[in-house]
Amino acid sequence: MSLFPESFEQPSGRAVLLSIKPKYADLILAGTKRVELRRSWPSNDIGVMVLYSSAPKQRLVGVAFIDRVEECDFESLWAVADANGGGVTYDELKAYVKGKKTAFGVMIQRIKIAEVQVDPKDLFANFTPPQSFLYLGPNDFPRVMRAMFPSEGSV
């Protein structure tokens, strides 16, 4: 049984809405940043990230389909970031993961740029940008996809 209606491409695993600084969201959408670096990651199987570009943009800008997630120590994470366009310097990554024994490299399989950049407040009552991520329920993902990709039809 799938959590996602059939009209839109169905990711394997759950969907999350991920808050990302505009600089990094732009790099992901350009295809040059192929790994998202995170201090923490949900334990559940996540198949797709809906990208929320934080202030000043504050819009849903696209989706990234996940290939795999690598949990690693700092040096291994740096190797993953360096090899996959992590978008940060060694020192920036070190400062970001300071105090963590392990962190996560979320490997991006492919991206889909939104036809329409959507204000999430138009989709979610009382939307507050998540500090890290927000699980999208089985009805939320198709609604987000319809809003970002109106030319792909309705569910």
Question: The domain that contains 107 carries what CATH number?
Answer: 2.30.130.30
| Cα–Cα distance for residue pair 107/15, rounded to 1 Å | 15
Range of the structural domain that residue 29 is part of? 14-149
| Cα–Cα distance for residue pair 51/25, rounded to 1 Å | 7
For residue 6, tell me if it sits in a domain.
no
DSSP 137: P
For residue 154, tell me if it sits in a domain.
no
pLDDT of residue 50: 98
Beta bridge partners of 108: 66
For residue 46, tell me if it sits in a domain.
yes
For residue 2, tell me if it sits in a domain.
no
Tokens of 31: 């295809």
% helix, strand, coil for the chain, step of 5: 25, 35, 40
pLDDT of residue 40: 93
Q: For every one of its 155 residues, what pLDDT tens digit does the chain have, with 9 covering 90 and above?
A: 334 444 455 567 899 999 999 999 999 999 999 999 999 998 778 999 999 999 999 999 999 999 999 999 999 999 999 999 999 999 999 999 999 999 999 999 999 999 999 999 999 999 999 998 999 998 999 999 999 999 986 54
For residue 40, tell me if it sits in a domain.
yes
Which residue has tokens 């009209």? 7
Which residue has tokens 């799938």? 2
Q: Are strands 133-136 and 14-20 parallel, antiparallel or unpaired?
A: antiparallel
pLDDT of residue 132: 86
Number of domains in the chain: 1
With beta carbons less than 8 A apart as the criterion, state whether 109 and 66 touch.
yes
pLDDT of residue 43: 77
Which residue has tokens 């979320």? 106
pLDDT of residue 63: 97
Q: How many CB atoms lie within 10 A of CB 54?
A: 17
Q: pTM for the full model? A: 0.89
